[in-house]
Chains A and B, each alone.
Chain A
Amino acid sequence: GQNIDQPTEMTATEGAIVQINCTYQTSGFNGLFWYQQHAGEAPTFLSYNVLDGLEEKGRFSSFLSRSKGYSYLLLKELQMKDSASYLCAVRWERNDMRFGAGTRLTVKP
């Protein structure tokens, strides 16, 4: 199987930091993506990891540990507009992609 697990919901306060975790089965792994999806809209790309370590992009960072089958998305200085679903997606050797069910983040004032 290619199970991808992430928490269903999270809540955080404006200005704070939140970490969204994602675990996946490691066999055939060929890259991990994070997408953001606002309600009623299509997903949009946030970050990509294929090697171990941290990738930073402005307020967003993504971390990968291939041996542990683990990634997280870190959002700093949260803003109200960051309220959205965050989707962890894994690309496999066949070049197909599978998505986790998504984590719905609510940012409160």
Chain B
Amino acid sequence: DVKVTQSSRYLVKRTGEKVFLECVQDMDHENMFWYRQDPGLGLRLIYFSYDVKMKEKGDIPEGYSVSREKKERFSLILESASTNQTSMYLCASSLYPRDHDNEQFFGPGTRLTVL
């Protein structure tokens, strides 16, 4: 079974702090994704990566950065946390080939609260 793990289930940080959210997958997937999920807005793509050291902006990259130094690990960084970044953060991974039913496998999520 594919396993996607996230470093924390719950996190509380203060405004202005630098926050690291870590995601690790164990199935050698090329693609990795970071989403945030808010009531009424659904899952919104922040960044994704299709290879080591490669990254692509999603719909809401402002205030975030990412790092993919190893294939299995994709980190989301909040350079200076703000209260509007309070949300559920979900990491996902999938195989790269585009013409297959390569569904995304999700981690359990990190509920981040910024005070």
Contact surface of A with B, Cβ cutoff 8 Å: 8, 30-31, 33, 41-45, 48, 50, 87, 89, 91, 93-102
The 10 closest A-B CB pairs, nearest first, are A101-B42, A48-B101, A42-B106, A99-B43, A45-B103, A102-B42, A99-B42, A43-B106, A96-B48, A95-B98
Contact of A30 with B58 at beta-carbon distance under 8 Å, contacts A48-B103, A99-B35, A101-B42 already known: no
Which residues of chain B are within 8 angstroms of A102 by Cβ–Cβ distance? 42-43
A100 close to B106 (CB less than 8 A): no
Contact of A42 with B103 at beta-carbon distance under 8 Å, contacts A96-B56, A96-B58, A102-B42 already known: no
CA distance A52 to B103 in the complex (A): 18
Q: How far is the CB of A87 from chain B (nearest CB, A)?
A: 7
- Chain B interface size, under 10 / 10 to 19 / 20 to 34 / 35 or more: 20 to 34
CA distance A99 to B101 in the complex (A): 16
Q: How far is the CB of B50 from chain A (nearest CB, A)?
A: 6
Nearest A residue to B58 by beta-carbon distance?
A96
B104 close to A97 (CB less than 8 A): yes
Partner of A91, one of B41, B44, B98: B98
Q: How far is the CB of A67 from chain B (nearest CB, A)?
A: 19
CA distance A42 to B4 in the complex (A): 11
Which residues of chain B are within 8 angstroms of A43 by Cβ–Cβ distance? 43, 90, 104, 106
B42 close to A94 (CB less than 8 A): no
